[in-house]
Amino acid sequence: MRHIRVMTPVALVAAAALAACAPSGGPNNKGSGDPSGGPTGVATDIGDEPVTLKLMSTPESGESTLKAIEAFKSVKPNNTNEYDQTNYEDYNNSLNLALASDTAPDIVLLNAVGVTVKNGLVKDLSQYAQAYGWEDAVPANQLAQWRVAADGATLGEGPLYASPAGFSLVGVYYNKALARQVGIDPLPTTIDEFKAALSKARDAGVLPLQLGNGEGHASFPVQLIGQAVDGPASHVPWVYGHAGATFDTPGNRQGLDMLAEWARDGYLPDGANGADLQGAVNNFIQGKGLFFVDGAWDAAKIADGLGDDAGFFAFPGATGIGTSVAYGISSASKNPDAAAAFLDFMQTAAAGRFQYEQGFMPVDASAITETTGVKADLLRAWNQVGEADGLVGFNNNATATMNDTLMRTTQEIIGGRLDTDGAIAQIQADWQETHGA
């Protein structure tokens, strides 16, 4: 398959030699956790024996991980991490097979837990979490999505299977020039204000919302409206697959209704169903659209494209969709202690800097000093959502097939082929298939 080897081990050693003079890799920057070890069977002292670990990731989170690997060399010179990356989709398709193979990697990026945890391919990290104090460093609702119950499908409870290195947030990008032109000031903080802003834009001849739904990204605004109306906490059980939860809520209904209205009344770009996410990002950068609901991962591209006109705010109601860039340890790893030491390093302020540069929110933000620009907006929104306890995981991850189901149903709603009742029935049927009583 398309397999991109970013760095050979030889090159990595050379890079590690350079890392000694890298500006951000210091051994004493640890800002979180307690490395002194806990009363458990795992060791936080990884000794001086040379250890080589294999790490697998995707380009989306690769840059920051590579920098962390370089920086870690100056903390633990005896620890070599070999980095390997594959594009997102192929990565998800091949991860389980790689973990089950004889040449399993030690550290893997986890995008979903389902089959991976069910088949015992990654280690229970609870003891490391206790030893390193991850539960103090990372907000509980962020660790929760990596906890999997014994049935292998219910999240939010049970042992911990991954350690977050950074976080992503879905909110609203906006074009400041268009906001000035339309006269939107202050930014909307309630659903009604958001709707009013959209109408105002349309009346002024400005496209209210940029959207590319070729891959189903209309599910983001639908989910956010649902959370804003129902309250984020009430949506968590459904996302985590807790028995008895339902998608049929007033908020989700309103989200789907609004999507249909937007499509009907010209709030969305023509051909939204035919554009993919990157197409929508490109359109937004070209000044098409006042608002654009998207994740932190496109922050760098949007900041480059729109310059000073780029802005970001938390979805009205201070709610957000988010997950973490989280790494797990292979059950086959011969050096889990060394792997855990690196996972802990990725939570430090020094490593957090790399996450921030790539558009993710760091676990420890103490090294971030910027106050302007889209990334600073993102960090502000992240804190705001955190304070309001407004973060929920992606609806798209509720089951293995939910992403496809949401894609299909939102496309049909935009195309006028399906009503809200039909969409809710299909979405809930998918959920029942996995989590049903």
Partner 1 sequence: MTTAPVATGVRRVSLRDAAGAAGGRRPPSPGRRRPEGATASEVGRARRKAVGIGLGFLAPAAAFYLLFVILPWLHSIQISFYDWDGVGEGTWAGLRNYAKVFSEPALVDALTNAVGFILFYTVVPVLLGLILAQIIAARRRRGEGVLRTILFLPQILPLVAVGTVFRYLYGQDGPINQVLTWIGLGGAKRAWLGDFSTAYVAVGIVGTWVTTGLCTVLMLAGIQKIDPELYEAARLDGAGKAAEFRYITAPGLRREVVVASMITMVSALASFDVVYATTMGGPGSVTMVPGVMIYQLVFMANRVGVACALATVLSAFTLCLVAALNRLGRER
| Beta pairing partners, 294 | 171
Q: Which two tokens stand for residue 404?
A: 């496809």
Candidate residues 114, 139, 237, 373; the one interacting with partner 1 per rule CB under 8 A: 114
Distance CA 50, CA 388 (A): 45
Cβ proximity to partner 1: between 91 and 132 the closer is: 91
| Beta pairing partners, 171 | 294
| Cβ-count burial 293-315 (b if 16+ within 10 Å, e if not) | bbbbbbbebbbebbeebbbbbbb
Q: Tell me if 279 contacts partner 1 by CB under 8 A.
A: yes
Candidate residues 97, 140, 233, 243; the one interacting with partner 1 per rule CB under 8 A: 97
Shortest distance, position 99 Cβ to partner 1, whole Å: 8
Q: Tell me if 425 contacts partner 1 by CB under 8 A.
A: no
Q: Tell me if 115 contacts partner 1 by CB under 8 A.
A: yes
> 50 near 345, Cβ under 8 Å?
no
Distance CA 139, CA 141 (A): 6
Distance CA 433, CA 244 (A): 13
Q: Tell me if 408 contacts partner 1 by CB under 8 A.
A: yes
Q: Tell me if 260 contacts partner 1 by CB under 8 A.
A: no
Shortest distance, position 416 Cβ to partner 1, whole Å: 8
Shortest distance, position 365 Cβ to partner 1, whole Å: 34
Shortest distance, position 103 Cβ to partner 1, whole Å: 16
Site residues for partner 1, 120-149, by CB under 8 A, read: 121
Cβ proximity to partner 1: between 216 and 390 the closer is: 216
Candidate residues 199, 261, 417, 429; the one interacting with partner 1 per rule CB under 8 A: 417
**Contact range with partner 1 by CB under 8 A, out of 46-54, 298-306, 314-322, 410-418:** 410-418
Cβ proximity to partner 1: between 163 and 411 the closer is: 411
Candidate residues 270, 369, 370, 372; the one interacting with partner 1 per rule CB under 8 A: 270
Candidate residues 36, 40, 78, 93; the one interacting with partner 1 per rule CB under 8 A: 93
Length of the chain: 437
> 56 near 85, Cβ under 8 Å?
yes
**Contact range with partner 1 by CB under 8 A, out of 63-71, 136-144, 250-258, 268-276:** 268-276
Cβ proximity to partner 1: between 218 and 329 the closer is: 218
Query: Looking at this protein, which amino acid is placed at residue 186?
Result: P
Q: Tell me if 58 contacts partner 1 by CB under 8 A.
A: no
Distance CA 30, CA 237 (A): 34
Residue whose tokens read 């792997």: 339
> 324 near 163, Cβ under 8 Å?
no
Q: Tell me if 373 contacts partner 1 by CB under 8 A.
A: no
Shortest distance, position 12 Cβ to partner 1, whole Å: 30
Q: Tell me if 111 contacts partner 1 by CB under 8 A.
A: no
Site residues for partner 1, 205-234, by CB under 8 A, read: 213-215
**186 preceded by cis ω (within 30°)?**
yes
Half-sphere exposure of 103 (CA within 13 A, CB side): 1
Among candidates 334, 330, 339, which has minimal Cα distance to 80?
Answer: 339
Q: Tell me if 387 contacts partner 1 by CB under 8 A.
A: no
Q: Tell me if 404 contacts partner 1 by CB under 8 A.
A: yes
Cβ proximity to partner 1: between 90 and 135 the closer is: 90
What kind and span of H or E run contains 282? helix 277-285
Instruction: Please give the full DSSP string across 216-227, using - where no structure is assigned.
Output: TTTHHHHHHHHH
**Contact range with partner 1 by CB under 8 A, out of 45-53, 92-100, 217-225, 388-396:** 92-100
Q: Which two tokens stand for residue 39?
A: 């009363």
> 309 near 177, Cβ under 8 Å?
yes
| Beta pairing partners, 86 | 3
Query: Looking at this protein, which amino acid is placed at residue 321?
Result: I
Name the site residues for partner 1 (rule: CB under 8 A). Answer: 92-93, 96-97, 100, 114-115, 118-119, 121, 213-215, 269-275, 279, 400-401, 403-404, 407-408, 411-412, 414-415, 417-418
